[in-house]
Amino acid sequence: HAHFEDKKPLTGKKALVTAGPTQEPLDPVRYISNHSSGKMGIAIAEALAAAGAEVTLVLGPTHLSSTVNTIRVVTAEDMLNNSKAHFYTSDVVVMAAAVADYRPKFVEDKKIKKGAGDELTLELEKTQDILRTLGTDRPAGQVLVGFSLETNNEQEYALKKLREKNLDLIVMNSLNDPGAGFNYDTNKVTLFDRNGVAKDLPLKSKQEVAKDIVTAITDILQSRNV
Ligand code: CTP
Ligand code: CA
């Protein structure tokens, strides 16, 4: 039975992983965010390191931490800037972060006070799509992996992201699968390769899912070398 620990197929390779949520501030005490814990992305970063890669993890705000070299970021903009610094030298890039798609258009420097009226309308503006932005200019030979978290029309949306974001592999997560998604220790995913060929994985621990994703990545690298 072969383990990464014995073979280390990614020795000499550099890898970049994004993980966790982002927080987009509204004022000094409030922000917009999501339920991501970063658990799946951290497991992938550690599985890549176990396979021999030199890993940089760009990690949004979470109580979890990792044994790999970690850059802590808060906003989508921070995550983009810190990812950019490593993207062009990375052989493997896995963007597992749950990046906020919108941020408050105006960030108040003082706490917003409760007004007399019953309603408050927030103006939001789009953040940059890190994966899409960096994916338009990927270095030759790089393996680029994205995630797709959906609640409906999962396959259609995942394949659209695979195509539009110029990916080699997309990991599709459905929030409808019991035991899958935010804060669980388990996950159930489907992998789609560049040609849209699906591989359904059974429900297993996030560590085991991470190993399967790393195996898919090493398979892609190896298939290019033959
Ligand atoms: N992603 C990113 N930067 C963003 C938004 C998403 O890098 N600003 C990446 C995620 O890390 C993930 C992939 O894009 O690898 C897909 O993210 P997802 O939120 O599922 O898709 P979106 O393209 O943002 O579309 P939507 O949220 O509308 O489904
Ligand atoms: Ca999104």
91-112 confidence digits (pLDDT tens): 999 999 999 999 999 999 999 9
37-63 confidence digits (pLDDT tens): 999 999 999 999 999 999 999 999 999
Question: Does the Cβ of 206 fall within 6 Å of ligand 1?
Answer: no
Q: What is the pLDDT of residue 5?
A: 56
Instruction: Write out the two tokens for 14.
Output: 């550099």
What number does the ligand 1 atom closest to the CA of 100 have? 8
147 belongs to an annotated ligand binding site = yes
Question: Does the Cβ of 207 fall within 6 Å of ligand 1?
Answer: no
Task: Write the residue with the smallest CA distance to atom 23 of ligand 1.
Answer: 161
Report in angstroms the alpha-carbon separations of 167 from 10, 64, 137, 145, 196.
19, 27, 12, 6, 10
- The alpha carbon of 161 and the centre of ligand 1 are apart by a number of angstroms equal to 8
* Alpha helix segments (H runs only) across 112-187: 130-135, 154-164
Q: Contact 96/19 with Cβ under 8 angstroms?
A: yes
Domains of the chain: 4-106+123-224 (3.40.50.10300)
Angle at 209 between CA 161 and CA 198, to 5 degrees: 45
User: pTM for the whole thing?
Assistant: 0.95
160 belongs to an annotated ligand binding site = no
Global ipTM: 0.98
Q: What is the pLDDT of residue 182?
A: 82
Residue 174: enclosing H or E segment and its boundaries?
Answer: strand 169-174
- The alpha carbon of 98 and the centre of ligand 2 are apart by a number of angstroms equal to 7
Question: Does the Cβ of 127 fall within 6 Å of ligand 1?
Answer: yes
Question: Does the Cβ of 31 fall within 6 Å of ligand 1?
Answer: no
116 Cβ partners below 8 Å, 6+ apart? none
Residue 192: enclosing H or E segment and its boundaries?
Answer: strand 189-193
Residues carrying an active site annotation:
34
Q: From first to last of its 226 residues, what are the pLDDT tens digits of the chain?
A: 556 656 799 999 999 999 999 999 999 999 999 999 999 999 999 999 999 999 999 999 999 999 999 999 999 999 999 999 999 999 999 999 999 999 999 999 999 999 999 999 999 999 999 999 999 999 999 999 999 999 999 999 999 999 999 999 999 998 888 888 787 899 999 999 999 999 999 999 999 999 999 999 999 999 988 7
